[in-house]
Amino acid sequence: MALMGAAVLFASLAACGDTSSSEKNGKTQEETTSGSVPLVAYFSYSGNTEEVAQQIADRTGGTMAQIERAVPYDDVNAEGEEELNSNARPEITVSVDNVDEYETIFVGYPIWWDEAPMVIASFLESYDFSGKRLSHFAPVPATP
């Protein structure tokens, strides 16, 4: 099902594709973060969202950035639901230092209890996205 969702997403990404994405390996870090390629930021607990994020990055030539909870979940069902119910903002880490330098940012996450995990709220509140193009994706609605 994740791949079907990804296929629909790819159709909508066609206009976002960088025709020079095959040259990505030859670009310097400065060139890849200057806004010419998107950032694909994602939180993935089971690996499904990461798989779709990788497909988006491959299609667009984007740079991947993993969003992680600073303290890993011991019991994702209990802790994830408690975060949602208390509107918590758990501390996070992001695997890229220069989120602010990207013009287009895809944000991916699983759907838990019909909502994004609260680590996504932490991410979105950690940066100033004024003037940025944001697009979200979620591969398959599922409870953790």
Q: What's the CA gap between 8 and 4, in Å, rounded?
A: 7
Residue type, 48: N
67 contacts 43 by C-beta, under 8 angstroms: yes
Q: Note the pLDDT tens digit of each residue in 44-79.
A: 999 999 999 999 999 999 999 999 999 999 999 999
C-alpha gyration radius of the chain: 15
Per-residue confidence band for 36, with pLDDT thresholds at 50, 70 and 90 = confident
Lowest-pLDDT range, 34-38, 96-100, 118-122?
A: 34-38
Q: What is the pLDDT of residue 20?
A: 38
Q: What is the pLDDT of residue 42?
A: 98
Q: What's the CA gap between 59 and 17, in Å, rounded?
A: 6
48, 41, 45: which is closest to 4 by C-alpha?
Answer: 48
Checking if the pLDDT of 85 tops 80, the result is yes
Q: Which domains does the chain have, with CATH numbers?
A: 36-137 (3.40.50.360)
